[in-house]
Homo-oligomer: A and B are copies of this chain.
Amino acid sequence: MNSSQIYTKRRYTLSLVFGIFALFVCTVSYAEDLLPSWNDGAAKTAILEFVAAVTDENGKDYVEPSKRIATFDNDGTLWVEQPIYSQILFAVDRVKTLAPEHPEWKTKQPFKAVLEKGPEGLMVAGKKGVIELLAATHTGMTAEEFEEVVKQWTATAKHPKFKRPYTQLVYQPQLELMAYLRQSGFKVFIVSGGGIEFMRPWTEEVYGVPPEQVVGSSVKTEFQLKDGKPALVRLPEINFIDDKAGKPVGIYQHIGRRPILAFGNSDSDMQMIQYTMAGEGRRLGLFVHHTDADREYAYDRKSHVGTLDKVLDQAGAKGWIVVDMKQDWKRIFPGK
């Protein structure tokens, strides 16, 4: 081998090494660029490693695309749930809107309390009162009519602290994560304790999640011929509560496959994560921990919404990832 040959060979080897290195750098940077609002740390690493593992066709953890199911809770996981669930504020606003048609509400509980004190009136209404309010505000109309009411509310109502529409108070890091998962062949579902029809009118536009990939609590509906026209009418009766142990049930009913990734933020999501993690093969379970009083809210064990208590006790032993909002999220909301 003469010097020219050696040179050529060395150059070739160097090119190869640089090439592989460049490919490696590109791959990693590329993946990281897809989650720009996530700070480097254990949570981001866990997500990137998990997605890399289940999408690597030659790896032992490979999962075929059709089985890449990811489920996300909504309130507190994808959008703000403080000071109270948006759906409660929707119900309160709806009572105020409908009050002129119901003069009897001025003296009848729980409507009287809600009209006088707003959401706090609802807090003391008890379970029976809440169901009465739900019936008065969410039922007795067709599916299309309710959809219209929800669209109007989300277009106009504003959050008391942030003074922005609720649909703008969604978490930017989660929007990026859902997009990254979809890009990696996942099908992303919402699995929420909230009303399924309260979410569906806007989840596609806001989260990129179409109505058929939203699982939630529901009232019974009935097929009727209304003025000769077929319509679905919403009845004042609970059909399904998609919360706590109801979440795995809702997933089974609706999706029919066990998720490989699930993301929640409270003890109400624990059963969904347990169910997800108990499947065979590699799994990822995550919880948002609200630790950022400045940019959003800080709450956990004693909060009246989104209580995160048992999860914090068990996360370490169970291998659940606790995402620290303050540490792990560079930005909270889109455009901020």
Binding site for B on A (CB under 8 A): 66, 69, 143, 187, 189, 196-197, 200, 204, 210-214, 218, 221-223, 229-232, 239, 245-249, 252-257, 271, 274-275, 278
28 contacts between A and B (CB under 8 A): A66-B204, A66-B210, A69-B212, A143-B252, A196-B253, A196-B256, A200-B256, A211-B255, A212-B212, A212-B213, A212-B255, A212-B256, A212-B257, A221-B249, A221-B252, A221-B253, A222-B245, A222-B249, A223-B245, A223-B249, A229-B278, A230-B248, A230-B271, A230-B275, A230-B278, A232-B249, A239-B253, A254-B254
**A211 and B256 form a contact (CB under 8 A):** yes
When chains A and B are docked, how far (Å) is the Cα of A210 from the Cα of B187?
Answer: 11
* Minimal Cβ-Cβ distance residue in B for A256: B211
**A252 and B232 form a contact (CB under 8 A):** yes
* Minimal Cβ-Cβ distance residue in B for A200: B256
Residues of B within 8 A of A245 (CB): 222-223
**A223 and B143 form a contact (CB under 8 A):** no
A33 to chain B, nearest CB (A): 27
- A248 and B229 in contact (CB under 8 A), knowing A196-B256, A212-B255, A212-B256? no
Residues of B within 8 A of A196 (CB): 253, 256
**A256 and B197 form a contact (CB under 8 A):** yes
* Minimal Cβ-Cβ distance residue in B for A187: B212
A63 to chain B, nearest CB (A): 14
* Minimal Cβ-Cβ distance residue in B for A147: B256
* Minimal Cβ-Cβ distance residue in B for A224: B245
When chains A and B are docked, how far (Å) is the Cα of A214 from the Cα of B200?
Answer: 19
**B214 and A253 form a contact (CB under 8 A):** no
